[in-house]
Structure 1
């Protein structure tokens, strides 16, 4: 009665605020308010206090507390708990909605069809012979009306039904996204902290599927942030340990979140497409999912342009964990099939588990490369003989260019070559069409202007930075000295130049 009075007094607030509460749900809340371990523990504490000869609490009072509390717990568990199901049925709250009923019938029909296609070869067995398929159909009642046509659950164009179908489609996609997050956690692709953030975003989006498009990405934006000063830190001359601490370590979580978000939504979209087919509801939900991933792709692209080695290290960790896990599973399967004895299995599995623990305790760290390392690993500089490489490195100038800066202008003379270390550069031309280009954007590691310096011709396109670019400039005079120093070096430069020209144009 007290619970009914409380729910009745607060009914209007519960109905119009929060998730909303109707009369049937209020009745269930009143009837199913079960008492249990907390009530008993409190009653037992009173009984214990009464047994210690407290002056204001007699032993009889403590016994009465335990008796009445235990009786209430017994009655609510036995009476209320056992009759809640019948109350739900009497109120009609266990009935499926029209939308879910149509979806259920359609799903049952599709599952039966797929099952018959998968097990069609069981009608005839090589060892036991054919099966009595008529008897099989008698035991499976759903096969009797399998030949009947079942309408797609989204064929009804009524506004209310359309809204319910849209909500149902969003819920199904988010359920698929959440299931993918759990699978990634089990496979070691994301950490527990990252999984908690991703799961919370799905739970918050579930609350808004009735009134808003998919919005699970909105909850992740606070955890995925790429300030503009990160780019300048990466291109500055500060100590590498300082840059690693203030940039790289804070970006790892964001990269994991974005990669998991994109992968989970891609899997969920494919599953929803296979489940619902080419319906209008599926198209709307899939478009909402694609729109939510644009910001995640943008974040990863910014990290790829500014810290390309960061994504490589994160992917290396995931691949290493996946390979070790796969090896351990293979050993377990060989033991289950009897090809390995238990001692052999334990010996092999211990080796993989040791490597797995080593990976978890001491994962590969992201280290910002030094200037000499960046140039030494570049394809152009790294292939040069050591005798000519050292003078070239000593005359290289390191520069940082902002977004939209011009490295070359069409028709101008090249005064040197640019080696792109971090960032991306795009080209444009009034004479050449970029639509037919194989690589309209040149990423880190590209060499620009070598053809113009070797031939002495003017630039045939503009080279514009597409992001913050950290690059190195080598004057044309140094390249000429390098050519004259060794004929093999000149041949190598012409080969690099030819490869670049082929990648730039299709002419």
Structure 2
């Protein structure tokens, strides 16, 4: 009810605003590419129609506010809802019944019947609708209807049907316009009518009458269960050819009035592509905004509503391009990538809102169309003859269009079946857009009165005839063509489901009989409400194993897709992941279940991280950007593989309930077992493939997987807490305001998780590695954070060369995860592990790398380059000595592993030994005595006084008196 009141208020305010604008029309300067708004505003409204001021005068004179629009909206909504409620099982489609009611209301007002019976206030409201400004129809209703249709599209089906829809909507509509125009000129030459029509006016009528409105046909197609592909191409063509028709109308209208400028073809392209650009830019902005909003229905829905009208307004009034195409582009962007940008909790509400908005818009617009036709159109006998010929002509034109392009269309995308093309031909209804364009012509005094009046009459007549003839017979046509017939397998599944429902109901009756409050019920009467298991209209005739497998595969794929979206709604699958996996399911469904569930070539492309990204992330300057892409790609791979395994496990549990079998009496149990076994093997193969991939990924990138699993576990915990909160609310243990406060805290945590990047989780691993790195572990917290923020995080696949011997180190490398082999002239010298450092010793002594370093396993490391080290030491002076200690530890670890005395110690013990060592900086001639331990000469030269032996760094010295020869650096082990 709240949504209804909001929409009612919006429409009322918009209509009154439009009426106020209508009275203040100002003629704009002529432009070479005139927008639809300009075409409307430059017409002479007062010339041949009753002024809207007549409606304002009357009983409400002096109030200053015309309430006729408001009253008309209220009446229309009640008429619409009453029609839907009372005549829901009528033979005529809902919108066609509204059109007839509008015609009746218009006639009653035209002949002052309402005034004579004391309903003058209603007559004024209807009279207002009959003289409504056509641009108000376009601006108020088109954005809602077009956006809702685009937003409701199934994007995968739309993509594969797009080329065929464009063929019908662009070259197809041009063919239809040419055929229609020459047919009208033929009628003129035969002397039947249209004596004052010119060739341009004939082409203008062709453009007007080409705008289709198949809302009734689409509703019937969905109701009878016809192919989704047929309803998609029908609706897609309608949206696109509305835009094409309006653009062509603007171009031809400008030629007639002498205001067109430039090349018509160039203008057509500019207006069309400009509309696409406007819709795309606004769509990008809105998606960026929605991405930052979490679970706020008011913001998300309001933003989308505003975007639909803003795109139409900017396109038409500001940039003078196609508003229809702009809204279509926006709607498609919202139905595609935008579907996951809206919060999962808001998505259903958003769809419901737009369905309600479209219902109200269709209710108002079809009643208005009927009223306008009844009040403004006049027919003579000659006009009716021409109308009949034109009605035949538009069908010939549409037939010619489909015939010309059918050979091409049947080979593109899904193709188009012959039977579908018949429905497409007959279902080309005309509606409000065509009538609004005709009204624009009818109120323009620059065109002679007789032709423009005839154009309006013909358009109105075609709208009525296609609505009363085509719309009412299309269901019969669909049935005759067999497009609503379901196969034996679907009928079998339906019968099986009905049987299950009945069995469940019978069990429930037995339970109810034991209920002390119901035990005295008339159980025969109660049992009469059990569903009839034989209620299926089409009974299965035979059981075909291949068809059964194909149908069951389709059901399993649909269930798998539902699993992905459920995981997304729970925050357990990313938006990119659910889009990729859903697209893959849609691609498999295109095969109709004919290929095994385990044949998924695309799934490996989704999981596999391109090697190019892994290499690019180590480049200077742009490496940080590619590193982010690499981490995100790893996260996406894990995300998709985990969701895939979950979906396969869910399908395995529910497989037996989807099998058509012996219970239906149409198959032997052996066939059912064969079917179950075949599909179970396919699902099991999928599950094993996914689990194997996840295991390998964990082994290669444990830190990344740990970060992802931490995020998943955190979100799962928050989901559980929200469910618990809901249970406490139902138990009455919390007040509503208390629930809102707690829920706000949980949602804030969820939003924080969504915004948490993988880098932030990886930084925890970097910090842990620094704490275990000798020297760097003693850095202050601020200094460590500085290193983390400035250091370059790099990830190397197994076998990658990290650095080559004799190359410049340009900094220090710290291993975060994995193991690295280092080679001397292709000879394996040693292995470095987590928290080990390399390149530090060469940095300290300004040497070239002494070894080549190769990733033995996938390796994650952080590189602190020379420029970062300079910044670090300037900002944190104590870091200079600690970096020297880190470099000393680098060479010390290498020497100790090669020493007989220390080689038996584990890496952990060696690291502990080095961490407790002391660093001494010795000047020329300075002496130092150490006993009971060893000394690592890191830099310079030193002489042992006992043997008078000269040692050059790097070297290990046992217990002795040490005298420096020049400046030296020594690490004394404990």
Are 2:594 and 1:198 equivalent residues in the alignment? no
Equivalent position SS for 2:637: helix
Distance in 2, Cα, partners of 1:116 & 1:137: 8
Are 2:266 and 1:266 equivalent residues in the alignment? no
**Selected match of 1:313 from 707, 722, 725:** 707
Paired residues of 2:498 and 2:533 also in contact (CA < 8 A): no
Equivalent position SS for 2:495: helix
Distance in 2, Cα, partners of 1:19 & 1:121: 51
Are 2:617 and 1:225 equivalent residues in the alignment? no
Distance in 1, Cα, partners of 2:725 & 2:631: 36
Distance in 1, Cα, partners of 2:616 & 2:688: 25
Cα distance, 1:376 vs structure 2? 6.9
Distance in 1, Cα, partners of 2:683 & 2:754: 33
TM-score norm. by structure 1 comes to: 0.63
Instruction: Map 1:86-485 to 2 at 5 A.
Output: 86-117=476-507, 120-140=510-530, 142=532, 156=543, 161-214=544-597, 217-227=600-610, 244-245=627-628, 247-276=630-659, 279-292=673-686, 296-363=690-757, 365-367=760-762, 373-374=768-769, 422=818, 475=897, 477=902, 479=904
CA gap of 1:185–1:401, structure 2 versus 1, over 3 A, is closer
Distance in 2, Cα, partners of 1:324 & 1:401: 34
Q: 2:170 aligns to what?
A: none
Could you give the per-residue CA deviations for residues 277-321 of structure 1, whole angstroms, max 9, x where no partner exists? 863233323333444455544443332122112222222222322
Cα distance, 1:172 vs structure 2? 0.5
Equivalent position SS for 1:93: coil
Distance in 1, Cα, partners of 2:513 & 2:428: 53
Q: Structure 1: 5+ residue runs without aligned partners?
A: 146-150, 379-399, 404-418, 424-443, 446-464, 487-507
Q: Structure 2: 5+ residue runs without aligned partners?
A: 1-394, 662-671, 774-795, 800-814, 820-832, 835-854, 862-892, 914-974
Distance in 1, Cα, partners of 2:411 & 2:532: 43
TM-score norm. by structure 2 comes to: 0.35
Equivalent position SS for 1:327: helix
CA gap of 1:144–1:322, structure 2 versus 1, over 3 A, is same
Distance in 1, Cα, partners of 2:681 & 2:524: 45
CA gap of 1:470–1:340, structure 2 versus 1, over 3 A, is closer
CA gap of 1:348–1:33, structure 2 versus 1, over 3 A, is same
Paired residues of 1:194 and 1:257 also in contact (CA < 8 A): yes
Cα distance, 1:372 vs structure 2? 8.5
Could you give the per-residue CA deviations for residues 199-228 of structure 1, whole angstroms, max 9, x where no partner exists? 211111111135433378433444332345
Cα distance, 1:64 vs structure 2? 4.3
Cα distance, 1:192 vs structure 2? 2.6
Equivalent position SS for 2:607: coil
Cα distance, 1:187 vs structure 2? 0.9
Could you give the per-residue CA deviations for residues 322-363 of structure 1, whole angstroms, max 9, x where no partner exists? 332343343344334433222222222222223233333345
Q: 1:489 aligns to what?
A: none
Distance in 1, Cα, partners of 2:769 & 2:504: 55
Q: 1:414 aligns to what?
A: none
Cα distance, 1:252 vs structure 2? 1.5
Distance in 2, Cα, partners of 1:359 & 1:99: 45
Paired residues of 1:177 and 1:265 also in contact (CA < 8 A): yes
Paired residues of 1:226 and 1:299 also in contact (CA < 8 A): no
Paired residues of 1:181 and 1:195 also in contact (CA < 8 A): yes
Instruction: Map 1:59-74 to 2 at 5 A.
Output: 61-74=451-464
Q: What is the total number of aligned residue pairs between the two structures?
A: 397
Distance in 2, Cα, partners of 1:315 & 1:44: 62
RMSD: 4.6
Cα distance, 1:41 vs structure 2? 5.1
Paired residues of 1:205 and 1:216 also in contact (CA < 8 A): no
Could you give the per-residue CA deviations for residues 106-136 of structure 1, whole angstroms, max 9, x where no partner exists? 2322332244345531222033435443333
Q: 1:427 aligns to what?
A: none
Paired residues of 1:234 and 1:307 also in contact (CA < 8 A): no
Distance in 1, Cα, partners of 2:622 & 2:455: 69
Higher mean Cα deviation, 305-314 or 104-113? 104-113
Cα distance, 1:367 vs structure 2? 1.2
Distance in 2, Cα, partners of 1:32 & 1:73: 12
Distance in 2, Cα, partners of 1:96 & 1:401: 52
Could you give the per-residue CA deviations for residues 13-68 of structure 1, whole angstroms, max 9, x where no partner exists? 55566545444333222222233454345445555xx63x55xx446555544443
Paired residues of 2:552 and 2:658 also in contact (CA < 8 A): no
Paired residues of 2:609 and 2:630 also in contact (CA < 8 A): no
Distance in 2, Cα, partners of 1:129 & 1:41: 64
Distance in 1, Cα, partners of 2:541 & 2:691: 31
Structure number with greater Rg is: 2
**Selected match of 1:6 from 401, 421, 425:** 401
Distance in 1, Cα, partners of 2:713 & 2:497: 36
Q: 1:31 aligns to what?
A: 426
CA gap of 1:377–1:32, structure 2 versus 1, over 3 A, is farther
Equivalent position SS for 1:259: helix
Cα distance, 1:174 vs structure 2? 0.8
Equivalent position SS for 2:484: coil
Paired residues of 1:124 and 1:131 also in contact (CA < 8 A): no
Distance in 2, Cα, partners of 1:480 & 1:22: 77
